[in-house]
A and B are shown apart, each in its own frame.
Chain A
Amino acid sequence: MDELIKRAKELLEASAVKVVIGYEQGTGNKTRALFVEKPEDAGKLVFDSRCVQNLAAYVTKQEVKSKGKMAITATLPVMRSLVQLASEFQISDNNLVVIGITPDSKIIDFKNLEEVEAFVHQFQIEIDERNKEILEKLEKMTPSERWNFWIEELSPCIKCYACRAACPMCYCSRCTVDFNRPQWIPVQSTELGNLEWHFMRAMHLTGRCIDCDACANACPLALPINLLTKKMIVDAKANFGTYQPSLKGENVLSTFKPDDKENFIQ
């Protein structure tokens, strides 16, 4: 943690960045996002296993961006998100410095996003065992059992959109659910309205979701909404092989090759 504070301080003192995004001690046992703008405030930064909120959600936020060049404390899921965001032209080396934190909690410096990408590619995106088991159970259900499972799990959803707000990939200034001419998704949080929202969210994230669980962690009702995105990752891997965010945008479902073995699109 001392090294992280030192790094943040150096960047701010040298005016290399205007703001360092990291974590601070929050309420009770929580940690939360901290935006350090003065070198003397860098001491408030903390880092430990509680720091799981995906800070990449802030780098596309207008008021954060307007501060100027940012540095971000980036764990592996954050780094993956940054690579994906860069491939979608939301960030670049011009407006972002990445202070990496390796899975064994070591600070790692990156000259640019290409180095971040190279680091990220050393690790595979793997669904954890507990969720794998749940997905397998769901797979074995009959369609009506599965329908009942999702109705039961998703009908309490109040459509607060905390899942959307916490997801780094949901950066659209106007989401499909906010359109009313025409209205694509029912606004009301009813059984059907909730299903449509969560299924659409999962479809929009397929090939882009890096499995950070920010959506499920943000849900005030602790609904297992990340099962949907995890399922899409399992299917994408099974059908398309590698699953990695890529600066060239070569991730699943973002590319089309004329020599694709399927001919339905031709």
Chain B
Amino acid sequence: MNIERRLVRKNSLEKLFEILKQNKKSVFAPVVKNGKASFKTVESFSTVAEDYIQTTQSSKELVFPRVEKFLDYEKNGKDVSVKGFDYQNVPDTVLWGVRPCDTIGFGALNSIFNWDYKDEIYNARLAKTTILSFSCNKSDEYCFCTSVGGNPGSTAGSDILFTKLGADGDYLAEVITEKGQAIVALAPGLFEKADTADKEKYLADVPVKFNQKEISERLEKFFKSEKWVEASLKCLGCGACAFVCPTCACFDIQDEEHGKTGSRMRCWDSCGYAQFTVHTSGHNPRSVQSQRWRQRIMHKFSYMPERLSVYGCTGCGRCSRACPADMNILEHLISIQEVKL
């Protein structure tokens, strides 16, 4: 469908929020605590953060929660009764205030969760989610969306994209999908006709820092390079980068048992952990951190484009901001581009 352009007055956002709540939507929006913005299920518009560059964590938790319970079971003698995932109870959710570098990340997640096996739980959660994103009017030194195919006003992956027209201005609302239209239909009075609005001049300036295709091509010849060790010596081997990433989707299936009852769940996992690739025999094909760091970069910039035709990085910069050792992914990618092959 064609993108419809509407004008939403700055004072109307709160009304829109209230109408969503009146229509029994769960709203997942950024909230600031301890100086950090994170997505939470919010009840009141006043708690929604407005002035932030990026949330610490991505919004992937909405469709790929850190713990997803698949089933509960109960043992009775030789019988086992199983209660599976309750698809009926997946909440109808509006993801509010998300940035274009997150919405574009849903494309990568869709490819991963529908690659060969269609992940029904992920798909059910996404089907119930409407994405109201907000363009970026500022950025920081960690942002590089424009180097990986995005931009601060990209509509990719959004149902409605809002762009603030000036510091104290109204919003341009670009209604992109039918899900977006359904939101407009709930509050038609708030979405006025827009005849103006060249949004470009209100967007953050994020300069292009490297050529993504060139990085992928170089990585094919770079696997055995000694540079990986040098680049990752300061990496501490935690999972912060993977867990804040909008496209990292690795998980581990865990059973939790309490006597005769228990449950099976999917928990986030990270290729940065030493234990991630340990075989039952005890052998670990990625025995040192440089191999794990290499896997992270190769997966996002070589394996995913090759297998899924999508990159595993949206340039949101979260991994670099979250890293306790200041492993800056942008810096690493630029250095890969500069290495003499």
Contact = CB atoms under 8 A, between A and B. Distances in A.
B238 interface: yes
Contact of B256 (A58, A159, A178, A188): A188
Interface in B17-62: 34-36, 38, 56-57
A5 to B, nearest CB: 19
Contacts of A219: 324
A63 B238 contact: no
A38 B331 CA distance: 22
A218 B236 CA distance: 10
Interface stretch (A23-31, A73-81, A89-97, A121-129): A23-31
A222 interface: yes
Given A35-B234, A64-B233, A221 B239 contact: no
Given A57-B236, A165-B237, A27 B320 contact: yes
Contacts of A34: 234
A11 B248 CA distance: 42
Most chain A beta-carbon contacts within 10 A, residue among B67, B141, B289, B325: B325
Contacts of A218: 236, 238, 240, 324
A161 B239 contact: yes
Given A53-B324, A220-B56, A158 B142 contact: no
Contacts of A208: none
B273 interface: yes
A160 B238 contact: yes
A215 B273 CA distance: 17
B190 interface: no
Secondary structure of the A side of the interface? loop
B289 A30 contact: no
Contacts of B240: 160, 162, 218, 220
A35 B256 contact: no
A217 B324 contact: yes
Contact of A158 (B57, B252, B275, B331): B57
Contacts of A189: 66-67, 267-268
A111 interface: no
Contacts of A164: 238
Interface string A158-182: 1111101110000001100010000
Interface residues on A, range: 35 or more
A63 B324 contact: no
Nearest to A34: B234
Nearest to B322: A220
A28 B140 CA distance: 9
A219 B288 CA distance: 23
Chain B interface category by residue count: 35 or more
A158 B238 contact: no
Given A188-B67, A217-B324, A218-B324, A27 B141 contact: yes
B229 A27 contact: no
A68 interface: no
A186 interface: yes
Contacts of A223: 34
A105 B52 CA distance: 36
B243 interface: yes
B320 A63 contact: no
B254 A27 contact: no
Contacts of B238: 160-162, 164-166, 218
Contacts of B290: 63
Interface in B222-274: 229, 232-234, 236-240, 242-244, 252, 254, 256, 265, 267-268, 270, 273-274
A61 interface: yes
A63 B229 contact: yes
B288 A63 contact: yes
Contacts of B275: 174, 178
Contacts of B232: 63
A164 B242 CA distance: 16
B35 A222 contact: yes
A148 B34 CA distance: 18
A156 to B, nearest CB: 7
Contacts of B56: 220-221
B252 A187 contact: yes
Interface of A: 26-28, 30-35, 53, 57-58, 61-64, 156, 158-162, 164-166, 173-174, 178, 186-190, 193, 217-223
18 contacts: A26-B328, A27-B142, A27-B326, A30-B326, A32-B234, A33-B233, A62-B289, A63-B233, A63-B288, A159-B268, A160-B239, A160-B242, A164-B238, A188-B67, A189-B67, A219-B324, A220-B240, A220-B321
Interface of B: 34-36, 38, 56-57, 66-67, 140-142, 229, 232-234, 236-240, 242-244, 252, 254, 256, 265, 267-268, 270, 273-275, 288-290, 320-322, 324-326, 328, 331
